[in-house]
Structures are given as structure tokens and as C-alpha cells.
Structure 1
Amino acid sequence: MGVPEPSPSRPLRRRRLLRYGAALIVSCALAGYLVVRFGPDARQARTGCEVVAADGERDPYFFDAEQAVNAATIAAVGTSRGMPERAVTIALATALQESGLRNLDYGDRDSVGLFQQRPSQGWGTVAQIMDPVYSARKFYQRLDKVDHYASLPLTVAAQKVQRSAFPDAYAQHEPDASLLAAALTGRAKAALTCESTVPDGAGDPSAVRAALVRDFGRTVLPGAPEARKKAAPAAATTTPAPVAGTLAGAPARARTVVVPVAASRGTKEPDARRRGWELAQWAVAHASVLHIAEVSYAGREWRASGTGHTWREAA
């Protein structure tokens, strides 16, 4: 009985596999992605979220789903305008004091919204102010006109925008606002988590895309020319891994939303990995309203069920 000789095609197949593997590695290095997945397992009521300090030296800040959505929107509007983390901290502390991060349809005299802005004082109509994106944008527009606001005490910077009768009250919220800003601008990775799962009902990928555009602008979506231009050079140095998330109850072929990760517009640090964590934690904060069941980025993942609702190493 003869011994069969090795097939001459095996070295060829091996070389092809190596080429394909190299191509995959290069592709992964060229761009990072946010992927939002929607799964059928997320069916419990959501009870709350928390954000922790990277150094563990501060107490966590606990807040509910409504506050998480509003905080993430305020942060996204700021970074999409190229505002620094300090500006986001000032905005979040102001909203914590004025409304408790809730979009109120009432307030002192004619004040409404997250920042309790007054139509009679030129902030816009009631309908405009009740739009969190609009009200956050107006806050940042006025803050940006304050000279050297980033180096001012938070109470002074906030008061120059708000003209409050109780300006010192903003200071009490600075520690919590700082924690939120570090997570929601992506500087603190895997710092924001939510305790329980999203409610019953199917997730809609188009709703996630619409919410991303609403908060971050159109260039955040796949195929946006500016996003593609910014993602490739940033990722060439940071090589961010994909971000993933899942929508509850969506059809199997429509369960995933993929978003290119590009550095924030106008910021001094072109760090696509930081941008990826900003997008990932924005998705976790919006999990309750968008029915997101899973989010992953840079080898870490958050699931609405089955992982204790914390960020863990991806399988």
C-alpha cells in the first residue's frame, strides 16, 4: 500500500489563507465601527444606570433611564460642535441643577426644558426649547461666547449663560457632572453601564440611525464622506476595534447597525478610540428608548441581559 504524496494545492491554499488573513487585519486597522444590535432577550423593565470613576476614588453617580438619555444627548451635541470636555461638564452640571436632567414642560415663570430656558428671554419658542438637542445647542452657543469659560469656575461660567437667581447652586453638581462628562465624551472607557434590560417590543434600526443623526449630525452614519475621511487616518494610529449593539425583537438580518468611528469634529485630540467609547456609551444610555440589547467596542461588550449589565471582555 503506497503512502499518498502531499497535495501540491495545500501550500497554495495556505498562502491564500495567509493573504486573506492579512487583508482582514489591514481592514480592521483602517476603520473602527460602532455596531448596535437588537436581540429578543431584553424583556425586563429598566431600573437605572450608573457611571463610575476610572480611578475608583469617587462614589458612582446613579441616575435613571430618562436622565441617561438626556445626559448622553447633551454630551453628544457638545462634542459634535467641537466643544471640549469642560464645556460638557458645565452643561451637564447646569442641567442637573435646573431640571435634574429631565425635560420639564414647566418651571419658574415661563422656564421650560432641560436648562429651564425662557422663551421671553430669547431662547426660542416653547416647542424649540422642549427639544433637548435644540436647548443643548443654544446653551453651548452662549457658553462659547463667554471668554475663557474653560478656565473659569464652573459656577461663574454657568451663571454667565443662565443668569440664575442662585448661581452658587451649580457647584454642588460639578463632581457628578465631571463623571458623566468623562464617560459620555469617551475619555473614561466602559464607565457607564445600565442595570437592567430594555422593555418589551421590537427595536428599529432606522430609529437608532435617526437618533444618532439627531445628536451627532449626519456625518456619524455609514457612507458619510466626512466620516470616512476622518475614520481612516485616525484609525491608522489608534486601530480601534468594532463597537457592536443589538435591537430587541428585530428580524435577524436587520438586528445590527454599523457606524464608522471617526474622531470628534474640531477637537484637539484626534482619538478615534475615544470617539468609539463615546458612541458606545451613548448607545448604552439610549438602550431603554431604542430597545438596544447589546453594545460592544474595543474587545468589551455590554449586554442588557446575561452579563450582570456590566462591561465585560467580548467572547
Structure 2
Amino acid sequence: MPRTTPSSPSRVHGRRRLYQVLAAFVVLAALAGYLAVQYLSGSRDLLSGCEVRSPGGTEGGGAEGGEERTYALGVDQAANAATIAAVGAAHGMPERAVAIALATAIQESRLRNIDYGDRDSLGLFQQRPSQGWGTSRQIKDPVYAAGKFYEHLAKISGYEELPLTEAAQRVQRSGFPEAYAQHEPDAILLASALTGRIPAALNCAAPVTATAAAPGDPDRLRAELVRDFGKGVLPADGAAETAGAAGPAATRTVVVPAHAATADDGAAADATTDARRGWELAHWAVARAGGLSVDRVDWAGQVWTAGTGWRTEQTEGAETDTGEVRMRLAQ
């Protein structure tokens, strides 16, 4: 019988070390492959993002004289947040209501329109078809879901004076009633930008995808404006301009009036209200830029362009003081 010589401890240790190195290499290779796939498939989280920034001393930024606040979110989250805020405007809801809605959606779905949840919960607010919120298809529509949230919130007497988490809980009836409070600072900051109270506060880096690089469609942009803000967002005669020369290579700019009538009696709004409405529209365009191929927004002497953010720009022929927000589409 041949005699077997047992492996020395050093040889066993060496083989074990080799296996560990090989395992680590496999893990790193898999991670690299995953990142490459995400890059090539246009992962929004890896390639782009949005940020709301509030200067110190504003209510959205904290206490009077406080430090600057920021809140970072993905472009898909910003687009959903912009829709929630716009639907609030369409329903005549105040900024406080928008903040409550945003805090709720941050808690329930992280501002993502998900198709799963606890039991039959769906969408931005995790609303349940079995509880009378609508059909699954309706709930997955952010405009419908936000509208239903505001409809329920408006029925709560004195909701503006309630603690945010209590107002949200009265609508949601969640098993975690205190959970909404943790998102209140971020929701207030986001609402202050999306309702136009803080100028030039929202910046987004448009996603680097084939879709984002495609020419924008003016009709689609107008349709999305009407879906989110309601028919009143465009002139009654439907004459919102599309500026620029004719032809496939033309620069196309959809011009939207910033004038907004009051929700109560339709009376003319004052200049301050118009300015705030303009920033509400401008920030909406920035938040929706990736999906709608918007590459420039002009309002009140400020210009946003994809990749560079907001800047002051007064150029010859620029219509920045005419009460119109100009949304230029990629060509």
C-alpha cells in the first residue's frame, strides 16, 4: 500500500489563501460587470441626479439665519415629486399640503412609482385598490394618485395646523403613524422649490441615455403640462408658442405664461404670485427635463441648462421679463 503523506499546514494555508483571492476576484469581476450593464442600460442613479438647495435664513432651509440645506434625489424621484406638486397646484392646494404629500410619498415609496407593496398597495402613495383608492391602473398613474391623496387631505378640517405626520396619517391610516415625521425637513425643502417660493433651487443633471438625447416633442411637453397642472396652465385659446425656425433641425421652445388666476375667484394675480408661479413652472420643467428632452429653461433673467444648472443670463432678444417661462427642447 502506498503511503499518503499529509499536506503540511503551510501548503493548506496557501491553497486557502489562493481560493480567497480567486473568490474576491470573481466578486469584483461580477461587480464590474453589473456596473457596466447599468451604465450601458442607462441607470438613472449612476448617471444623473437632482438636488434641491436652499440658502440659509429661508424657511425651507431651516431657522432664520440657519445654514443652507440640501436634499439629493434621483431624476425619476424628482419627476414624480414635480408631478405631485403640480397636481397640488391644479387642485388649489397650499404649499403645506404639497409638503404633506411629498413627505408621505417619500416614506411610502421613496418617490418611486413602484408596482408592489404591503398586500395590494401600489404606487407613489402605496394606495390599495381593495380599500377604494381606485383600480391598480389608476393608482399607478402619478397624477391620479396625487389627486386622490389631496382629495382625502382636503376633507380633514384644519389639516394645515396639524403636525405633518398626523395629517399624513389621517389620510394614509398607516401601521407606522409616526414614520412621516422623519421626512418633514426634506419634504418642506422640496415643496418650497416646487411651489416656486425659493427661486433657482432645483438642479438636475439630465440622464445620459438615447431617450434623453432624442429630439423633444413640443406636443408631448404641452400635453404633460396640462396633465400635471390642468388645462389652465396654457392659454385658453391653446396658443402657447413653439418658437424657432421651421424644420427638423429647428430649436423648439414651448412658451408658458406665468400668470395664474387666484383659485377662489379668478381675479388677476399680483406680480409676486406671478413670479412664484413662474418658478413653479420652471422647476417642474427642470425636474421633468430628462424624460421630456428639455435642455434649457428661461425665467426671470435666470437660465437653466442640462449639465450646468442655473445661472444669470441677459442676452439680446432673451424674453426673461415678459411673464413667460420658456422651455427649450433638444433638437
TM-score (structure 1 length as normaliser): 0.74
Distance 1:193 1:113, change over 3 A: same
- Match of residue 259, structure 1, among 252, 256, 260: 256
Distance 1:252 1:220, change over 3 A: farther
The residue type paired with residue 248 of structure 2 is P
Q: How many Å apart are 1:200 and its aligned residue?
A: 1.7
Instruction: Determine the structure 2 residue equivalent to 1:277.
Output: 279
- What SS does structure 2 have at the residue aligned with 1:167? coil
Q: How many Å apart are 1:195 and its aligned residue?
A: 2.9
Q: How many Å apart are 1:126 and its aligned residue?
A: 0.2
Q: How many Å apart are 1:222 and its aligned residue?
A: 3.2
Instruction: Determine the structure 1 residue equivalent to 2:21.
Output: none
Asked if the contact 1:245/1:294 (under 8 Å) is kept, the reply is no
Give the Cα separation in 1 of the matches to 2:243 and 2:153.
34
| Residue 312 (structure 1) aligned with residue 309 (structure 2) | no
Instruction: Determine the structure 2 residue equivalent to 1:152.
Output: 162
- Match of residue 290, structure 2, among 288, 291, 296: 288
Q: What number of residue pairs does the alignment pair up? A: 253
Give the Cα separation in 2 of the matches to 1:153 and 1:191.
25
Instruction: Determine the structure 2 residue equivalent to 1:107.
Output: 117
The residue type paired with residue 208 of structure 1 is L
Distance 1:294 1:245, change over 3 A: farther
Report % sequence identity: 59
Gaps in structure 1 of 5+ consecutive residues: 1-44, 229-243
- Match of residue 153, structure 2, among 143, 149, 158: 143
Distance 1:312 1:194, change over 3 A: farther
- Match of residue 190, structure 1, among 194, 200, 206: 200
Q: How many Å apart are 1:79 and its aligned residue?
A: 1.1
Instruction: Determine the structure 2 residue equivalent to 1:174.
Output: 184
RMSD over aligned CA atoms reads 2.7
| Residue 118 (structure 1) aligned with residue 131 (structure 2) | no
Asked if the contact 2:302/2:310 (under 8 Å) is kept, the reply is no
Give the Cα separation in 1 of the matches to 2:89 and 2:243.
21
Note the alpha carbon deviations across 1:38-93, whole angstroms, 9 max, x for none: xxxxxxx8500100113262431000110010000000000111100000000000
Instruction: Determine the structure 1 residue equivalent to 2:52.
Output: 51
Gaps in structure 2 of 5+ consecutive residues: 1-43, 62-66, 316-331
- Match of residue 212, structure 1, among 204, 215, 225: 225
Instruction: Determine the structure 1 residue equivalent to 2:235.
Output: 222
Give the Cα separation in 2 of the matches to 1:171 and 1:282.
25
Q: How many Å apart are 1:260 and its aligned residue?
A: 1.3
Choose 293-302 or 250-259, whichever is displaced more.
250-259
Instruction: Determine the structure 2 residue equivalent to 1:27.
Output: none
Instruction: Determine the structure 2 residue equivalent to 1:203.
Output: 216
- What SS does structure 1 have at the residue aligned with 2:254? strand
The residue type paired with residue 310 of structure 2 is T
Q: How many Å apart are 1:245 and its aligned residue?
A: 10
- Match of residue 139, structure 2, among 100, 108, 129: 129
Q: How many Å apart are 1:311 and its aligned residue?
A: 3.5
